[in-house]
Homo-oligomer: A and B are copies of this chain.
Amino acid sequence: MRTSQLFTKTSKTAPADEVAKNAQLLMRAGYVHKEMAGVYAYLPLGLRVVEKIKQIVREEMNSVRSNELIMTGLQRKEVWEKTGRWDDETVDIWFKTKLKDDTELGLGWSHEEPIVEMMKQHIRSYKDLPASVYQFQTKLRNELRAKSGIMRGREFVMKDMYSFHASAEDLDAYYNEVIEAYKRVYDRIGVGSDTYVTFASGGAFTQFSHEFQTICDAGEDIIYLHRGKNIAINEEVIDDAIKELGVNRDELEQVKTAEVGNIFNFGTHKTDEMGMYYADTDGEQKSLYIGSYGIGITRVMGVVVEKFSDEKGIVWPEAIAPYRVYLVAIGEKGKLAADVLYDELCAQGVEVLYDDRDERPGIKFADSELLGIPYRITVSDRLVEAKQYEYTVRKSGETVQLTRDELLARLG
């Protein structure tokens, strides 16, 4: 894309009312627009990052044979009353609204109950099991405070997945398969080496659930880490987990983290509450086992910005950068050569943001760094004469001059 066709503008200063680094940088770079605290619109470059994260998650959820669907934001009171979670005393983050006839409706903060209710119409026999479904849904949560930018929104995008099984063993096997899929997600996004499968508080069915916690100063969680044994424990269950796992507290390192995913084993608790059963081989009605698996898509994006940024701006990992190359044209001959290179790279499928504006080089370089595009290519009159391209790596700042062939080889 040519920047002359992109309507968003960058800004040198952060908005005064925004305290979170992730939102400050994303707003300055024109990735997001703040509608109100905790509620952000995703402008063209921001939407590209969201879609890239979603696509990685989609591929990995498909790899564990899950079916993508999309539930509704408007939800029925009766569905949530079955589990006692309609009450604002029990769930204190509901946004609610009303139909014309005063029927109360909920706005989806979670889709656990509606998904189970929907699946009752399709899953009736052992032949229908196992089954797994997921969605990318905009969740609304009425948070009292929202000061963490896109890391904790009142409106945010979440991937939530639910699996249905005939036995506890089958759920366990799938649960472990999802853990591996989640690891691949975080590896691909670029935070894998700092993300830990963490013991956290369980529910009615299991002692522990598992969170995926990424080391991040702006995170809201504290975990205890044994890097050697690759053990991580949320402080909320530290005493129980130490006993269970046989580790010593003084071997553990305390770190600040952000929760980027969580998985729960519900056992048969929720299906029993909601009256969902299946007919076994002998025709007997039996309870279903459910697992629930979440990834906060926009939260992960926020965590990446918190972790990978410097005084100049964002430093996107290549897999989720909105564009791979930022092309800067300087001077008349530079412009002509950049036009040609832009067409060539686009034809080869390289995603290029081409700064074709009539601006000073310093402004273009600063925008390139603020936006955090992984590679910058500069084409100036002087370089054209030397038949060279300047190639700069955002992460390391390394700058080299390359011939056309060398450049294409690097981007190949």
Q: What residues make up the interface of A, taking CB atoms closer than 8 Å to B?
A: 5-9, 30, 33, 35-36, 39-44, 46-47, 50, 65, 67-76, 95-100, 105, 107, 114, 118-119, 121-123, 128, 131, 133, 138, 140, 142, 144, 154-155
Contacts and interface: CB of A to CB of B under 8 A. Distances in A.
Counting every copy of the chain, the complex holds 2
A44 B72 contact: no
Given A7-B128, A74-B154, 9 more contacts: A8-B67, A35-B71, A39-B72, A43-B69, A47-B68, A47-B70, A74-B140, A74-B155, A97-B97
Contacts of A68: 44, 47
B65 A133 contact: no
B122 A73 contact: no
Contact of A35 (B33, B47, B76, B99): B76
A122 B119 CA distance: 45
A33 B47 CA distance: 28
A68 B131 CA distance: 34
Nearest to A106: B97
B40 A72 contact: yes
Contacts of A43: 67, 69
Contact of A138 (B44, B100, B138): B138
A65 to B, nearest CB: 6
Contact of A41 (B8, B70, B131): B70
Contacts of A5: 65, 67
Contacts of A40: 72
A73 B41 CA distance: 9
16 contacts: A5-B65, A5-B67, A9-B122, A35-B72, A35-B76, A36-B105, A41-B71, A42-B69, A43-B67, A43-B69, A46-B69, A74-B154, A95-B97, A96-B97, A97-B107, A99-B154
B70 A42 contact: yes
